[in-house]
A and B are shown apart, each in its own frame.
Chain A
Amino acid sequence: MERLTKNKNFEYLNSLFISIFASLLIGALIMMANGRSPLAGYGALLTGAFGSKYNIATTFAKTVPLVLTGLATAIAFRAGISNVGGEGQLYLGAFAAAYVGITFTNLPGAIGIILAIVAGALVGGAYAFFPAILKVKYDVNEVITTIMLNTVATLFTAYLVNYPFASSQGKMGGTEMIAEQFQFSRLVKLSTLNTSIFYMMIIALVIYYLMEKTSYGYDFKIVGQNNIFGRYAGIKDKNQMVIAMIISGGLCGIAGALEVFGVHYRFLQHISPGYAFDGMLIALIVNNNPIGVVLMSIFFGALKTGSVSMENSIGIPSELVSVIQSIIILFIAGEAGFKNIYKNWKMKKIAKSKVGEENV
């Protein structure tokens, strides 16, 4: 049994690397079509991501929201419910944290920070609770509801920061700055890497423990893989789904809170460039494995950071990276199908050659 799972892991890693390699190859072809050398392009990307202390710091700064949104998606998927609403949960969580940061300015730093993170988690979790309850009580497709709720949340927060909570400095689309004692300190000069990475690490460890080492996580897994079996085993699958969804939303809310307290020091109308969608891609790529989420987030963070210097030094538009990322997911998603087609083709070939031999 153990050998079997080991083989499976090996097979999975194998196809993961092939998918990534193939996508990078397509990226290289696009660079060539663009009249640029792929070697220079990827070289610039690599040095841009890891070439200096500042670059490494920026890479890890980008990793923070990705790990949280990636774990958020993974935990929901494990329990058999799809949370496509991470972006909306992140926006509301970020706003809730900013609200704490601009309202309770008399609180000491530590208490304010904890309050903000809790507020972000609660608001994000509550926002995920609605689609979860609609799913388990009324059988309403949660993919559609969470997609719809994304836009509702971004519109609502956009309204808040343009009207009742608009900054007094004439800056449209943002709140006031949060109080100074709440602002996370930067770890490397000029980069956005800040102490939020430690909070992220603690949260990631807790989620890892929850997913892999507790009976809770085990139940999620069973429910997600086969909820009829789960029901026989006496697991209340509907409860698990709702709980997983609340945790998922909470994690996205925390991701938003950390962006406010660590990076921007205020809520901005466009605070996330799609972190939750990237997190979702990450979770899908690594098959909802929490350690995989962390590693893949570093890879995505490096791609994002490196792409900026690739654009600045070689002139290849940084968006190439999102193209590569989406192609990776296409390959991974189609992997089983590709294999089947290959198998069928091989069988046919063998059958044909056998028929040929008989004829001779």
Chain B
Amino acid sequence: MFKDIFNLTLLQHTIRTATPLILAALGGLLTQQAGILNIGMEGMILLGAFFAVVGSYFFGNAFVGVALAAIVGLIIGLIFALFVIDLKSDEFVIGIAINIFAGGLTVFLLRSIFGVKGAFSSPDIIPLPKINFPFMDNIKFLDIIFNNHTIFIYISWILVILTYIYLYKTPHGIWMRGAGEYPNALETAGVSPRKMKYISSIFCGIFCGLAGAHLSLGYLTLFTENMSANRGFIALAAIIFGKANPMGTFLAALLFGFFDALGIRLQVVGVPAQFTQMIPYLATIFALVFVTQRQMNKRKKNKEEAIILDE
């Protein structure tokens, strides 16, 4: 039984289920770094998943679908930014509004464009192609885990590295982090925090759109109502768990993907999946307590040191 659960297929599934989380979380960590809590990611993913299917179905090309998903993500990111940054609305209110908007709009369009309820699948929806690396074919370990995935899996890994380099090694990335931590200092330095926040929000929308496209065109090739299924919130969890650092967030997303895949495997042998599915959410709460506790201690220490210096 142990072998039925813990095998190479589990790792293969982990990589697959983690990918949308990684993509969405990379977008969300940019807004997080720029000082915005984006809980609208759930809706952004859902819209991406729907419009990817629309593009793929009507144009007969999966990559048109992906592009459409990214464009829709961009637009929603822009709307989010407009309300949160320029109209100064509460970010959490707008996030919730976007989630409800996405849930309603996708089902509305599902019925009015495709005339179906619940789910839409068709042989005319072209899935994302799977990439085969011939050199892996003969090595069982590599072949099962890393071979024959859609291109997005590899892209998401590259994006993790690029985001890391961007945030920590480029001036632009340092401004991005400054927009969240020291907006006033950034302003004094002649960089507009507003602009940085806009950029982060737009990229968050695009990344979430891609995450959605991978959901609907990556392996199953269909759209079902509410198919984002809390992934936006798990991505948020990964960001918080990974302290909004691309590497940490990547590992957290992989970990949460692993528990998701494990849950599905456990269900096969009759163990309820609900408990493994709870793990990301509970882990986030513990991580939050831990992180804020440490911050508080640090602040206390700084204050004490300041007092000592004053004397």
Contact = CB atoms under 8 A, between A and B. Distances in A.
Nearest to B42: A147
B277 A322 contact: no
Contact of A326 (B86, B104, B275, B285): B104
B37 interface: yes
A232 interface: no
A210 interface: no
B112 A333 contact: no
A85 to B, nearest CB: 11
Nearest to B225: A319
Nearest to A327: B101
A320 B108 contact: yes
Interface in A293-336: 316-317, 319-323, 325-327, 329-330, 333-334, 336
A326 B98 contact: yes
A162 B272 contact: yes
Interface residues of B, number: 43
A144 interface: yes
B277 A144 contact: no
Given A149-B285, A155-B278, A163 B97 contact: no
A140 interface: yes
B281 A152 contact: yes
A322 B284 contact: no
A255 B292 CA distance: 33
Interface stretch (B134-142, B233-241, B242-250): B233-241
Contacts of B272: 159, 162-163
B88 A152 contact: no
Contact of B107 (A82, A316, A317, A329): A317
A284 B93 contact: yes
Interface band, chain A: 35 or more
Interface in B257-311: 272, 274-275, 277-278, 281-282, 284-285, 288-289, 292-293, 296
A145 B285 contact: yes
Nearest to A33: B112
Contact of B274 (A143, A147, A156, A329): A156
A337 B87 contact: yes
A337 B86 contact: yes
Interface string B83-101: 1001111101110111111
A158 interface: yes
B285 A143 contact: no
Contacts of B96: 84, 277, 280-281, 329
B105 interface: yes
Nearest to A158: B274
Interface of B: 37, 39, 83, 86-90, 92-94, 96-101, 103-105, 107-108, 111-112, 230, 233, 236-237, 240, 272, 274-275, 277-278, 281-282, 284-285, 288-289, 292-293, 296
Interface of A: 30, 34, 82, 84, 134, 138-141, 143-145, 147-149, 151-152, 155-156, 158-159, 162-163, 274, 277, 280-281, 284, 316-317, 319-323, 325-327, 329-330, 333-334, 336-338, 340-341
> Which 4 pairs between the two chains have the least Cβ-Cβ distance?
A337-B87, A322-B104, A326-B101, A333-B89
6 contacts: A155-B278, A319-B107, A321-B104, A322-B100, A327-B97, A329-B100
